[in-house]
Structure 1
Amino acid sequence: MNDAALARELANAAGRLLLQLRDNEDPDGKALGAEGDRAANRLILDALRRERPDDAILSEEETADPARLKSRRIWIVDPLDGTREYGERRDDWAVHVGLSINGVATEGAVALPAMGLCFCTEFPPVLKAENRPLRMLVSRTRPAREAVKIAEALGCELVPMGSAGAKAMAVLRGEADIYLHTGGQYEWDNCAPAAVALAAGLHASRVDGSPLVYNRTDPLLPDLLICHRARADEVLGLVRGLV
């Protein structure tokens, strides 16, 4: 099984487990989210250690091992991206299984289990044309000031949504056009989404236009832009105007 297929299989398997847990359990939102994080993390990491024993792993749910920094291949995992949305039994949560090789998000899969969807680097979708008017994704609970300002400058409609993976895949699906995040993320929040976005032909970078680099000492990777390539320079220019 190649890396992309493995990522897809694990993202889908974790998604099925999370749906089963959500449908069979009735704890409050925080308890459900915590149990979902634990169960999905265990499934994915057990499988990676079995199938790719020589690769390093970085997961949101595990203490980062400094030894990973010596590895050129590292799986970067968010077993439940959007724990709050999952606990509230919403649809906008995701499972991220990404592979960074030499610091580059190379392969990966993002499952949207509640929507019955999974996107991966092996089978990227054909991109749809941008919407008119443009649609800008923002956090449903704390929209970033920069994103709101740029949406106003471009005449965008705002599209509130939950998890980072759900937002990134909304651009792939043509549901929205620009995902600009400046509020703080970690490598597991965007490695798999960036890999899938790039494979589909979208632009994915830091908000200063520099590449996304993974497997660093500090896994903080606080900002992200995903959009159509033809739109990137305009958005990046507007971001620079706000700095």
Structure 2
Amino acid sequence: MLEVPVVRARGLSKVFGGGDSEVHALRDVSVDIEGRRLTAIMGPSGSGKSTLMHLLAGLDRPSAGAVLYDDVDITALDDRRLTALRRTEIGFVFQAFNLVPTLTVLENVLLPFELGGTKPSGEHREWILERAGDLGLTPLLGRRPHQLSGGQQQRVAIARALAIRPRLIFADEPTGNLDSRTGLEVLMMLESATREHDQAVVLVTHDPAAAAHADRVLFISDGIVVHDVGRTDAATLSDMVLELAGAR
């Protein structure tokens, strides 16, 4: 049985530019992202996968269509309400880590609260420290990013994304700067977020081996969802990517 959707896209289109330089990055895309599942978005370069992620996360606004969190169309929210929603409902993990170099590991993990002008309760702070422990960060909480390996920095980014207990986590090529072993650990941590913390994870990736960890894989080509498949092995996903690239 499928979980209730955390976010629903309805008729999403995104057009950049105008006239002869007009680019249709997304074309009438409708998709549900369910809770407690890891959903991967794949496609050739320029296919629209990052555009879809940005629209679902409220980082950009569509040219047409709606993005619904519960029954709230976030495309109709003003910037203040949209920012508030992102700070309480959505976590982000990016390829570049995006850690603040002057802050300690713990300060980076707690940064979403600082930016929101709030403080976690004692119980919530204890929960955050437990998650940091799960990620192997307890001995590193007083260090700064330059004192960490790439894999450790990505773990900090995951801890920061988990800290606010978001319903939805977006991970944009989170293993792109990591070796294969560390990348595997990161993917397993994202998988555990869906199982243990009831969160939905959306993984944007070009890597079939990474997408093979997903419960569901959406393939985008020329701004359209062309395949929607369940858990699939890396070799099959690689063949599908090559097929799409050859068809463009």
TM-score under structure 1 length normalisation: 0.27
The answer to which structure, 1 or 2, has the higher relative contact order (CA under 8 A, 6+ apart) is 2
Tell me the TM-score normalized by structure 2. 0.27
Greater Cα radius of gyration, structure 1 or 2 = 2
